[in-house]
Structure 1
Amino acid sequence: MAAVTDLVERLRSGELRLYELEDIADPDDATAARRAYVEEETDADLEKVGSYTIDAADAEPNIENMIGAVQIPMGVTGPLPVDGEAADGEYHVPLATTEGALVASVNRGVTAIRDAGGSTARIMKSGITRAPVFSVEDVGEAKAVADWVRENEAELAAVAEDTDPHIAFEDVTPYVVGDSVFLRFRYDTGDAMGMNMVTIASEAAAEFVEEETPAELVALSGNLCSDKKPAAINAVEGRGYTVAADVFIPDELVEDTFHATSEDIAAVNTRKNLVGSAKAGSLGFNAHVANIVGAAFLALGQDEAQVVEGSNAITSLEAREDGLYASVTLASLEVGTVGGGTALPTQSEALSVLGLAGGGDPVGSNAEALAEIIATAALAGELSLLGALASRHLSSAHEQLGR
């Protein structure tokens, strides 16, 4: 404790800065000193922030200036039956959220899917992207650079793949806007979400473009990737995993579970998710996919900012002759089971609940399974909320659960 007290005094005097503590102290002492200093400076009580099981040394790749940890309640829904190409079985799905009634709502949708015999899930397309932007003299030069890129894709692939044995170059698409040339690279990164991998690979490829053409690199990310921002290109071309899940629920089961008819629930989807979203100019034509994606991301160590792309989804419902067909298609779900926050202890434990902690065999199969499971959980959430709206039970459900 004396060491921590000394560190706090040196912070207070200005001899040390917050980010310098790990240079002279072990991570736990550095974290404790930083927390004590912040308590003094702000007159805050950080007792609960300082109560955590994470090893500060293990957290170093994930955080700077650590003072503790935030705890978010984690629930579980399931068992969720998934008939996927990578996920095949029943899964208990961890969800971390502070929104009351969310897990209960998803669980109702899970019950409907389970009673209907399960959901089918398929990955339609995959590949994480990075899009550097270059400057050129004029549109003539821009066209020449774009042509060179198309003609030398194999050489660009070799340069990119040389940066990491676990990355596979998929393709590159040039886009020209006046004297700007954007190159949207797409890669397979196995079980990793892979943003760091593709950034490094794209930098090497961009330098090769500079060496071989008149183009000059302006920025390694030109926002045509597009990462952590609403973007139509992700809705159309996909990013990460484009994954869909669907289910058919007989009319009797629909009415028993949701207290509404298939026709009424489908009508809510059409007017709310399709017409309403179109009128709003939304990039997501769904009820609340972000809720399930966000809760899964927090529980399972994913990059929470990429909920933006993960909620870029379309929910489709159709009342058929003897039941309700429901599907959800997530255009750009970016997930992984290695790297990033997946190595943190609680997140790793949550992934182990799904049997997906670490790398898969074959490589990439765990990340693919995770995408299929999250898509199916999102489908469950959509069914439940649309059913609650159709039966006019949304507000009463929150009142009953005291939320």
Structure 2
Amino acid sequence: MTDAADLAARVREGDLRLHELDDHADADVAAAARRLLVESETGATLSAVGDYGFPAERAESNIENMLGAVQVPMGVAGPVPVDGGAADGGDGDEGAYLPLATTEGALLASVNRGCSALSAAGGANARVLKSGMTRAPVFRVADVIEAEALVSWVRDNTDRLIEAAESTTSHGELLDVTPYVVGNSVYLRFRYDTKDAMGMNMATIATEAACDVVEEETEADLVALSGNLCTDKKPAAINAIEGRGRSVTADVTIPREVVEERLHTTPEDIAELNTRKNLVGSAKAGSLGFNAHVANVVAAMFLATGQDEAQVVEGANAITTAEVREDDLYLSVSLASLEVGTVGGGTKLPTQAEGLDVLGVRGGGDPAGSNADALAEYIAVGALAGELSLLSALASRHLSSAHAELGR
């Protein structure tokens, strides 16, 4: 059996490179060799990083040069009843438990408090209103005349682009192609139904096949398969307006007595605070997110369920609204571009798969896409609970005292 110390020595001597270790040993031995090498080179001790609870080969499609795993504490908030288009409230009788992984103290307590108030109000509603993963290549043309010709060709030949794109996948469907022209640059924003997969890789591969047809049949030259009009992992107004991944909204009407007794404030104070902070304050700051801390819940649930953590950028692209309705509080959170999946990527890792199991959405849904829709709805309800709790803490001026009480 190949020894980790021998492999580390061979790397140190220049006989092997780090990424070649997997060709000479199983994944766990290769990871051990990397730890030994990094420890000797840096003086760090990696015993905790090396104490992971699954075979390293399970992560081969998720990471390169693996030397261990970072463990992030995971907890649950809830239960909370959810009336979703796909989410059915979870497998529990009283509602769903929401898995969140974070290192931020007080976050779970805050979301849990929000879930308690949502439950006292009878639960939250959630619906996915639009779905579609995008990829937008950029083409070079000679001038605006050729640009217009390309746009016309695309509109007349969308069926050919659909045929080419869908030839690369047994699951994805090309929904539409929207052209954008800037001088002699033409961007084609492809939008796909990727079912239960988050679908970024699926969309990229399918779009490449469609781009081959465009280059064969027109005067356009492909400059880049991604022209940043997609837009992936960057703040972008187009995602706030047109959506990317799942566009999902959660809302609730909370009786006045619940607001006063459980949250120690009033519907009027929360509604005013939301307007002045989340709407006016965010507008003054030029923010693309008009919310209190949606990113907190999106990031924590992404980590717990194996989502692409960099897409928290788009996931936090959300608007929170609040109003007094017949003496009660109406609160909503709309997440325009929540990119989630229940198959592929990090969802295959054992701990993240267990997070999906808590919600009952691991793997492909029946019908296809329903599990990813349900996950999006659960995240939206978690964000709603988080917004309710933080707005209440601010309105009652209890935010700092809550952190002090929890020792954060």
Q: Aligning the two structures, in what range does the TM-score lie when normalised by the shorter sequence?
A: over 0.9
Give % identity: 70
2:144 is aligned with 1:139: yes
How far apart are the structure 2 equivalents of 1:132 and 1:162? Answer: 18
How far apart are the structure 2 equivalents of 1:165 and 1:270? Answer: 46
Q: Which AA in structure 2 matches 1:282?
A: S
Q: Assess if the C-alpha contact under 8 Å between 1:80 and 1:377 holds in 2.
A: no
SS of equivalent to 1:358: coil
Q: Which AA in structure 1 matches 2:274?
A: N
1:240-269 CA deviation, whole Å, 9 max, x = no partner? 000001000011110111111110111110
- Quick one: which of 251, 261, 284 aligns to 1:246? 251
> Which residue of 2 is the match for residue 64 of structure 1?
64
- Quick one: which of 285, 295, 310 aligns to 2:315? 310
SS of equivalent to 2:329: strand
> Which residue of 2 is the match for residue 401 of structure 1?
406
> Which residue of 2 is the match for residue 30 of structure 1?
30
Q: Assess if the C-alpha contact under 8 Å between 2:141 and 2:219 holds in 1.
A: yes
> Which residue of 1 is the match for residue 174 of structure 2?
169
1:322-375 CA deviation, whole Å, 9 max, x = no partner? 200000000000000000000000000110111111111111110000001100
> Which residue of 2 is the match for residue 263 of structure 1?
268
How far apart are the structure 2 equivalents of 1:394 and 1:370? Answer: 29
How far apart are the structure 1 equivalents of 2:20 and 2:220? Answer: 40
> Which residue of 1 is the match for residue 92 of structure 2?
none
How far apart are the structure 2 equivalents of 1:73 and 1:245? Answer: 26
Q: Assess if the C-alpha contact under 8 Å between 1:312 and 1:330 holds in 2.
A: yes
What is the TM-score with the length of structure 2 in the denominator? 0.98
How far apart are the structure 2 equivalents of 1:355 and 1:244? Answer: 20
In the TM superposition, residue 2 of structure 1 has moved relative to its aligned partner by 6.3
How far apart are the structure 2 equivalents of 1:169 and 1:17? Answer: 41
- Quick one: which of 188, 201, 204 aligns to 1:199? 204
2:312 is aligned with 1:296: no
Give 4+ residue runs of structure 1 displaced > 2 Å after superposition: none
In the TM superposition, residue 394 of structure 1 has moved relative to its aligned partner by 0.3
Q: Which AA in structure 2 matches 1:16?
A: L
> Which residue of 1 is the match for residue 355 of structure 2?
350
> Which residue of 1 is the match for residue 80 of structure 2?
80
How far apart are the structure 2 equivalents of 1:45 and 1:61? Answer: 26
In the TM superposition, residue 181 of structure 1 has moved relative to its aligned partner by 0.4
In the TM superposition, residue 321 of structure 1 has moved relative to its aligned partner by 2.4
Worse-superposed segment, 1-10 or 166-175: 1-10
Q: Which AA in structure 2 matches 1:71?
A: Q
> Which residue of 2 is the match for residue 228 of structure 1?
233
How far apart are the structure 2 equivalents of 1:168 and 1:320? Answer: 41
Worse-superposed segment, 12-21 or 284-293: 12-21
Unaligned runs of 5+ in 1: none
Q: Assess if the C-alpha contact under 8 Å between 2:2 and 2:24 holds in 1.
A: no
How far apart are the structure 2 equivalents of 1:157 and 1:329? Answer: 30
Q: Which AA in structure 2 matches 1:45?
A: T
How far apart are the structure 1 equivalents of 2:363 and 2:325? Answer: 41
In the TM superposition, residue 102 of structure 1 has moved relative to its aligned partner by 0.3
Q: Assess if the C-alpha contact under 8 Å between 2:125 and 2:251 holds in 1.
A: yes
Worse-superposed segment, 274-283 or 80-89: 80-89
Q: Which AA in structure 2 matches 1:12?
A: R
How far apart are the structure 2 equivalents of 1:30 and 1:260? Answer: 56
> Which residue of 2 is the match for residue 332 of structure 1?
337
Q: Assess if the C-alpha contact under 8 Å between 2:249 and 2:377 holds in 1.
A: yes
2:16 is aligned with 1:16: yes
Unaligned runs of 5+ in 2: 90-94
In the TM superposition, residue 3 of structure 1 has moved relative to its aligned partner by 1.3
2:383 is aligned with 1:378: yes
How far apart are the structure 1 equivalents of 2:255 and 2:97? Answer: 24
SS of equivalent to 1:241: strand
> Which residue of 1 is the match for residue 215 of structure 2?
210
Q: CA RMSD in A?
A: 0.8
How many residues are aligned here?
Answer: 403
In the TM superposition, residue 25 of structure 1 has moved relative to its aligned partner by 1.3
- Quick one: which of 363, 369, 372 aligns to 2:368? 363
In the TM superposition, residue 216 of structure 1 has moved relative to its aligned partner by 0.4
SS of equivalent to 1:62: coil
Q: Which AA in structure 2 matches 1:230?
A: P
Q: Which AA in structure 2 matches 1:103?
A: L
Q: Assess if the C-alpha contact under 8 Å between 2:2 and 2:25 holds in 1.
A: no
Q: Which AA in structure 1 matches 2:11?
A: L
